[in-house]
Structure 1
Amino acid sequence: MREPMEVPHEDPLVVSLIVAECLVRRVLIDPGSNANVMPRVTFDRLKIETEKLKPTRNPLLGFGRKRVEPIGMVELTVQAAERVLTESFVIMEIHPSYNLLIGRGWIHRVQGVPSTLHQVMRCLGPNGTKVIDIHGDQVAAKKCYSVTLKSVGKGKNPICSASLR
């Protein structure tokens, strides 16, 4: 049974997905991003072999148009309910409060419509005949926000301490 949604709210859509056969919590669904981004710490915790990293020379532009150089790219399976797709992730030496950021490409491939207001992403099942709902986790979203505020106030890089699995 789902937790009742807290309203009113301004929470981002934070979900759990299975990535490389591991349950990953605190995944930010970000329709404003054109890339799937994985912090190096998440890459390490998933115990992915470094040999799977492919070089990339394409920097990402962050807030304020700041260029951030990626460590590399890796292709991994992402499972959301019955949908399993292989996705490319840009590995970055960053320390956000989220374990992964999933961008527009994946949202479009699952034919998803994310709603932060309703805390759900609705997408089509693998054969396109039924609808799947991926529900947000407001508790995780609020915790990440709180950790970010505390870390910024102390001049530290924010990262939640909960485990990936």
Structure 2
Amino acid sequence: MAECLVRRVLIDPGSSANVMPKVAFDRLEIKPKVLKCTENPLLGFDGKRVKPIGTIELLVRAAEKELVESFVVVEIHPSYNLLIGRGWIHRVQGVPSTLHQVMRCLSPDGNKVININGDQVAAKECYSVTLKAAGKGKAPIQSDSPQ
């Protein structure tokens, strides 16, 4: 994306938007003036509305495909660098599996299946960061597991 390799991407079939935290936007070294204004708030996991800083369209290369995707840039501090939602998943004809940490999709010519593999260690680290943030009151997560 934007000539950079981006790691720690959350593929979320429950999200209607592609989300980019501002810190990830800053790391891409794109000038803020390219952001387009938007007044449409996002609804966070905690039910609160988050006002976007703006939107940006960027070329995303994955699974031998290149698609221009719109991202909503917001001032949040998650454990991932990007959240890619169901619109992109549908456009690449992907089928994500959280159990297997993989998303399968067809190659552009439709002749082979491509696996986009997740990183089990990175996924556990992101989850751990999220739980630690929840303990500090930064993220509303409830756990039924004994402590």
Asked whether the two chains share a fold, i.e. TM above 0.5, the reply is yes
CA distance in 2, matches of 1:86, 1:154: 37
Contact 2:63 2:105 (8 Å CA) reproduced: no
SS of 1:127's partner is coil
Structure 1 position 109 matched with structure 2 position 96:
no
Q: How far apart, CA to CA, are the structure 2 residues paired with 1:118 and 1:146?
A: 19
Measured in 2, the distance between the counterparts of 1:126 and 1:146 equals 36
Which consecutive segments of 4 or more residues in structure 1 shift more than 3 A?
Answer: 154-157
Identity of aligned residues (%): 77
**Could you tell me how far 1:97 is from its partner in structure 2?**
0.6
Structure 2 matches for 1:15-164, cutoff 5 A?
Answer: 19-155=1-137
Which is bigger in relative contact order (C-alpha 8 A, separation at least 6)? 1
Residue of structure 1 equivalent to 2:142? none
The residue aligned with 2:144 is none
1:93 and 1:64 map into 2 onto residues whose CA distance is 15
Decide whether the 8 Å contact of 2:18 with 2:83 is kept in 1: yes
Which residue identity is paired with 1:146?
A: S
* 5+ long unaligned stretches in structure 2: 140-147
Q: Equivalents in 1 of 2:138, 2:43: separation in Å?
A: 21
Q: Which amino acid aligns with 2:109?
A: N
**In 1, Cα distance between equivalents of 2:22 and 2:74:** 6
1:155 offset after TM fit, Å? 4.1
Bigger mean CA deviation after superposition, 135-144 or 119-128:
119-128
Count residues in correspondence.
Answer: 139
> Secondary structure of 1:63's match?
coil
Tell me which amino acid in the other structure corresponds to 1:98.
Answer: Y
Structure 1 stretches of 5 or more lacking a match? 1-18, 158-165
